[in-house]
Amino acid sequence: MNRITNEMIGEWSKEYRESSERQLATMALSKTNLSDVSYVSSSAFDMKQKFSVEIKTMEVTDQMRSGRCWLFAATNVLRERIAKELDLDGFELSQSFLAFWDKFERCNYFLENIIDTAGSPADDRTVSFILSTGVHDGGQWDMFVNIAEKYGLMPKDVYGETQQSRETAGMNAVMNRNLKACAARLRKMAASSCSKEELQAEKEEMLKKLYGFLCSCYTEPPKTFDFEYVDRNGIYHIEREMTPKAYYDRYVGDYLGNIVSIINAPTDDKPFYKTFTVERLGNVAGGRGVKHLNLPMAEFKGAILRQLQAGKPVWFGSDVGKDGERVLGIWDDNSFDAELLTGLDLDISKEDGLNLGFSAMNHAMVITGVNIKDGKPTRWKIENSWGDKNGAKGYYACSDSWFDAFVYQAAVEKEYLGELADLYDLEPIELRPWDPMGTLA
């Protein structure tokens, strides 16, 4: 290795002291956040909340201090269908109901993976990944479908929020501590040649306790409920003694079976027009696996545009940690010039960002509009789930260039893929558990 010398530091120090740009940056950064100093107002002004294609949707929701964005985004898509059918002004599905069963199923999925890998050392990369990931709030579209199809749905006013559902860090920490203790127990049992039946019996005892803990955090989900609502005309309705599954069958039916996950991952290991799954990524043992169809950006956008033009919102996943201004409610790479401020080379392609761990999907939201100029999108309207205090009462806008760089996944109806829909039926290529397309929103 080549050492840094005093001569080098002396030369660089002189250059820094003689640079007016560095001195101005030093003054600005001494009292102001870096993102605020690099903010480019002239570009941000272009992020208007005006769109040539716009779907009228309800007031935004609030996931509070939890990572349930994927469930909020998915239920925000479904509630529009239900509200339209029932002529409702406002409506929410219970995200807590879905989160409860996702957590419980995820515990079983984790313990099944522990049993399956019990013969490998703890520092094996796959075992280490399973242990470090544990159970948390994030998820993907197919994982939502797994829970909804198995357990059903219910309105939020039937099963609402508790302190633990709205602020999940403490609950998750306790649960993951318990799961590591369970993992240690199961691995020791496997090492002492316990039978599969003995391991499964022990796992069920663990799950019994975890079920009780989750019920304490959320309250136990109701098995039946009365669906009560008042329509736009002020007329009261009630459907008595519905089960969550009957509610799902009545108001969703086979709709989710027509939706597929498309991704834009321009990396050499993921050829376009192929499907992919991710090893050991899921939530329901024996359920539907995660599956993505990788498309070039033009065709990825094309499917989304066609669905929006048909008046249907789109669930999508992106990296919201890049080039955003939360109060104004914008994401736009042109509204920040950190290179000019810092003097550093910050240009990273989407391909390099995925390969080198710079960027990956970390938040799911809903696209509800787009502005099209000369046949091409310029900005997109986004329904977020961070409450109504920021942006346009909780609605955000992103530029098309930000969309190209940081949007990775969308859930679209097959009909809007056209001839590409048949590609989704291809046998998926399996990716390793730590692949960036396996990150959870």
- Residue positions annotated with a catalytic role: 69, 363, 384
In whole angstroms, give the CA distance from residue 120 to residue 289: 24
Provide the token pair at 218: 């959320």
Per-residue 3-state assignment (H helix, E strand, C coil) for the chain: CCCCCHHHHHHHHHHHHHCHHHHHHHHHHCCCCHHHHCECHHHHCCCCCCCCEECCCCCCCECCECCCHHHHHHHHHHHHHHHHHHCCCCCCECHHHHHHHHHHHHHHHHHHHHHHCCCCCCCCHHHHHHHHHCCCCCCCHHHHHHHHHHHCCCECCCCCCCHHHHECHHHHHHHHHHHHHHHHHHHHHHHCCCCHHHHHHHHHHHHHHHHHHHHHHHCCCCCCEEEEEECCCCCEEEEEEECHHHHHHHHCCCHHHHEEEEECCCCCCCCCCCEEEECCCCCCCCCCCCCEEECCHHHHHHHHHHHHHCCCCEEEEECCCCCEECCCCEECHHHECHHHHHCCCCCCCHHHHHHCCCCCCCEEEEEEEEEEECCEEEEEEEECCECCCCCECCEEEEEHHHHHHHEEEEEEEHHHHHHHHHHHHCCCEEECCCCHHHCCC
- Vertex 406, ends 405 and 407: CA angle to 5°? 110
What is the C-alpha to C-alpha distance for residues 409 and 43, in angstroms, rounded to an integer? 26
